[in-house]
Amino acid sequence: MIRPIRPEECPALMSLLGAVGLFGSDELDFLRGLLESHFQGQLGDGHTWLVDADDTGRPVAIAYYAPERLTEGTWNLYLIAVHPDQRRMGRAESLIRHIEGVLAQTGARLLLVETAFDPLLAGAWALYKKCGYTQEARIANFYAAGVDKLIFTKPLSTDP
Ligand SMILES: CC(C)(COP(=O)(O)OP(=O)(O)OC[C@H]1O[C@@H](n2cnc3c(N)ncnc32)[C@H](O)[C@@H]1OP(=O)(O)O)[C@@H](O)C(=O)NCCC(=O)NCCS
């Protein structure tokens, strides 16, 4: 079931993010700080964290998206991650489709998702492609020397 995150499940969310296997300790600290800011209402309008919970209510997938500042209707899917035990069950695709539906109803035009050009992320690239995203840009050496950034986009409405 897809639903907003709850303050009392912060430890479970951190456990999920740790299990994903993609984030180092600095990144996990950053994400913990973001979650705390979110629960304190400090992230700003539109910043949204969702989980997909299993039958027991345990969060097994997580997504975070927000509006891009100084744009009209452009949003960024900053994070999507699924517990390793729960992958290839359609959870990430369902989260993305859910987010797109919610955003389209509010007049959002464009959804971005950014990743590093790292073979570890090949599954994510395949996911974005399946969901209809196209690679719009590549910034060389963005994350570190030799680690480019890929930006994928998808229009959310028929607006030009
Ligand atoms: C990428 C990730 C979110 C995919 O989650 P998921 O729930 O397994 O994805 P889904 O089951 O919804 O997959 C939907 C489609 O995406 C593609 N896909 C997903 N994972 C894939 C993989 N590892 N290899 C190839 N294709 C993949 C497939 O086309 C899949 O459809 P199919 O199963 O019918 O072939 C998950 O592997 C993950 O959490 N990875 C680590 C975190 C990460 O990379 N996040 C993205 C950057 S923040």
What are phi and psi for residue 151, nearest 5 degrees? Answer: -115, 120
Per-residue confidence (pLDDT) for residue 158, from 0 to 100: 54
Q: Does 2 contact ligand 1 (Cβ within 6 A)?
A: no
**Separation of 130 CA from ligand 1 center, angstroms?**
10
With tokens 């209402």, the residue in question is 41
Q: Where are the domains of the chain?
A: 2-110
Q: 3-state class of 93 per DSSP?
A: helix
Q: Which amino acid is at 27?
A: E
> Which regions of the chain does DSSP assign to beta strands (E)?
2-4, 48-53, 59-67, 74-82, 110-116, 134-144, 147-155
Q: Does 123 contact ligand 1 (Cβ within 6 A)?
A: yes
- Which CATH number describes the domain made up of 2-110? 3.40.630.30
Q: Does 38 contact ligand 1 (Cβ within 6 A)?
A: no
The Cα–Cα gap between 129 and 115 comes to 13
Mean predicted lDDT score pLDDT of the chain: 96
Convert the pLDDT of each residue in 66-118 to its tens digit: 999 999 999 999 999 999 999 999 999 999 999 999 999 999 999 999 999 99
